[in-house]
Each structure stands twice: as C-alpha cells, then as structure tokens.
C-alpha cells in the first residue's frame, strides 16, 4: 500500500529542460483550433447581421425611389393639367370678348359696303379689325361654297337649275372662328338643285353620247 505524502499536489509532467512555470502556462493557454472556432462564429454572425441591414437599406431605398418617381409623375401631370386649364380659360375669355365685338364688326362691314367708312371712323374701324385678327379671330363664308350645317346657318332657301348640290348663294352675315372653334356660324341663303333637273341633265348627257357614237343600233 502506497502512502501519499501530505502537502504535495500532483503536477503535470514537465519535459526535460522546461521549468514548472512553462508547464503551467502551457496548461492555461487553449489550443489554436479551440481559439479560432469562437472567433469564426462571431465573424460569420457579424457578416450575416451586416447583410441583413444592407438588405433593409436597399429595400427602404427602393421604396423611397418609387415614392419619388410617383410624386414626380403626379407633379408633371399637375403641371400639364394647370397649363391646359390656363390655356382653356384664356381661349374662353378671348372668345367671350370677341363675341361681344361681333355686332360692332358687322356695323363696320355694313358701313364699308355703303361707302360710309371714311375719315377718323375708318382709321378706328381698321385698328379694331387688326386687333381682332391678332387675337385669332377669322372670318369665313363665301358665295358658291357647299353648304355645311356645321359652320353655316341657312336663313333663306331656294332652288336653282345651275347648282348640283346645296350651295351658299348669298352670305347674309359672315361667320367667325378662333382656331378650330366656331363662335358664330355664317348666316347664308342656300339654293338646292331644281327638282327634276338631275334627270333632265342625265337624259341630255345620254342623248349626247348616243349622238357621238352614231345613234342607237337599228334592228
């Protein structure tokens, strides 16, 4: 039976040439693999956290970019709508003003037809007509043009043998437009072809053709 000597603890084997302090230091220092494992896990966890944060930032950036694009599109639509409304209001205001001036222009035209447009009145009248033209007022309506119910208003009706369609034969009051917008139709007298005139003309044309070809074939 081996007796243990009291007061002495067992110590690890110490290689030859090494001091006891070296042995204790070696026992207290962990191995390289044991130290590298926790460091690698911490680095991977940190990388995963940064990646998640980057994904969140990218998502937020995409959402803000879409919001900005939508806001910009709405602003552009708003600008176009405001500009369109501004132009429409301007055109309506000009049309209303020129509509009120039409009776004055009619009086000027009648005075000119009667040779009464002379002196200072002539200068004022011509200046007024020039200003109206600069504001876009255009006069239309001529004798001999086909009747168009979209721009003409027929006040008188008759028949004429020398027309082939409903025709404006007299302009009682000229029409006016601003651009494509008619502010007053031309008031006209119209004439339609004489009833039966087309049949007579067709018969005359057929007879002329027969005469030129030597007449109808004889049986």
Q: Are residues 130 and 167 in the same domain?
A: no
The reported pLDDT for the residue numbered 186 is 95
- Is position 12 within any domain? no
Phi-psi region of 94 (alpha: psi -120 to 50; beta: other; left: phi over 0): alpha
Whether 173 is covered by a domain: the verdict is: yes
pTM of the entire predicted model = 0.56
pLDDT in tens, 104-126: 999 999 999 999 888 888 999 99
- Token couple for 27: 């026992």
Are 101 and 61 contained in the same domain? yes
> What does the mean pLDDT of the chain come to?
80
Confirm whether 130 is domain-assigned: yes
pLDDT number for residue 2: 47
Tell me what the mean pLDDT of segment 147-153 comes to: 94
Beta strands 152-160 and 175-178 are unpaired
For residues 66 and 106, state if they share a domain.
yes
> Could you tell me if residue 52 is inside a domain?
yes
102 and 161 share one domain: no
Residues 66 and 78 in one domain: yes
Is residue 60 located within the same domain as residue 121?
A: yes
Cβ atoms of 181 and 91 within 8 Å: the answer is: yes
Question: Would you say residue 191 has pLDDT above 90?
Answer: yes
Q: What pLDDT was estimated at residue 117?
A: 87
Q: Is 28 a residue whose pLDDT tops 70?
A: no
- The Cα 178–Cα 96 span in angstroms is 11
Cβ atoms 150, 184 nearer than 8 A: no
169/113 same-domain check? no
- In this structure, the strands spanning 181-184 and 175-178 are antiparallel
Residue 113 within a domain: yes
Q: Are residues 58 and 118 in the same domain?
A: yes
Contact status, residue 95 vs residue 183, Cβ threshold 8 Å: yes
pLDDT greater than 70 at residue 215: no
In a domain, 36, yes or no: no
Say if CB 169 and CB 203 are below 8 A apart: no
Instruction: Report the percent of the chain where pLDDT is more than 90.
Output: 49
| pLDDT > 70 fraction of the chain, expressed in percent and rounded | 71
Name every residue whose Cβ is closer than 8 Å to that of residue 193 and which is 6 or more positions away in sequence. 159, 160, 161, 163, 164, 165
Q: Which of 104, 135, 166 is the last residue of a domain?
A: 135
Please, what is the angle between helix 119-134 and helix 32-113, to 10°?
160
> Domain range spanning residue 159?
138-211
188 neighbors 172 (Cβ within 8 angstroms): yes
Q: Decide if 103 is inside a domain.
A: yes
Q: How many domains does the chain have?
A: 2
pLDDT at 179: 86
- Give the pLDDT confidence score for residue 137 in this predicted structure: 94
How confident is the model at residue 218, as a pLDDT?
A: 44
Encoded tokens for 16: 């030859």
Q: Which residue has the higher pLDDT, 214 or 209?
A: 209
Average pLDDT over residues 49-54: 86
Which residue, of 97, 113, 135, is where some domain finishes?
135
Q: 131 and 144, same structural domain?
A: no
Flag whether 170 is in a domain: yes
140: left (phi over 0), alpha (psi -120 to 50) or beta: beta
Q: Do residue 88 and residue 119 come from a single domain?
A: yes
Whether residues 119 and 142 fall in one domain: no
Q: What is the DSSP letter of 214?
A: T
The CA distances from residue 111 to 25, 114, 115, 116, 171, in Å, are 126, 5, 6, 5, 16
Confidence (pLDDT) at 24 = 53
Structural Rg of the chain based on CA atoms: 52
Q: What is the CATH number of the domain that holds 182?
A: 2.30.22.10
Final residue in a domain of this structure, among 135, 150, 172: 135
């Amino acid at each position: 039976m081996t007796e243990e000597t009291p007061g002495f603890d067992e110590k690890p084997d110490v290689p030859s040439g090494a001091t006891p302090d070296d042995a204790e230091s070696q026992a207290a220092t962990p191995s390289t693999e044991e130290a590298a494992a926790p460091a690698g896990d911490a680095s991977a966890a940190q990388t995963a956290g940064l990646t998640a944060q980057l994904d969140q930032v990218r998502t937020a950036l995409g959402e803000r970019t879409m919001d900005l694009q939508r806001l910009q599109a709405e602003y552009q639509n708003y600008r176009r709508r405001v500009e369109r409304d501004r132009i429409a209001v301007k055109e309506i205001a000009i049309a209303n003003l020129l509509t009120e001036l039409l009776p004055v222009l009619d009086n000027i035209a009648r005075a000119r037809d009667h040779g009464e447009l002379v002196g200072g009145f002539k200068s004022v009248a011509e200046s007024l007509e020039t200003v109206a033209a600069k504001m876009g007022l255009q006069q239309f309506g001529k004798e001999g043009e086909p009747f168009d119910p979209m721009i003409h208003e027929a006040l008188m009706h008759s028949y004429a043998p020398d027309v082939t369609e409903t025709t404006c034969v007299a302009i009682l009051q000229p029409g006016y437009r601003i651009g494509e917008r008619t502010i007053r139709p031309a008031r006209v007298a119209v004439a339609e072809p004489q009833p039966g005139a087309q049949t007579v003309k067709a018969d005359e044309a057929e007879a002329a053709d027969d005469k030129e070809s030597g007449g109808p074939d004889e049986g």
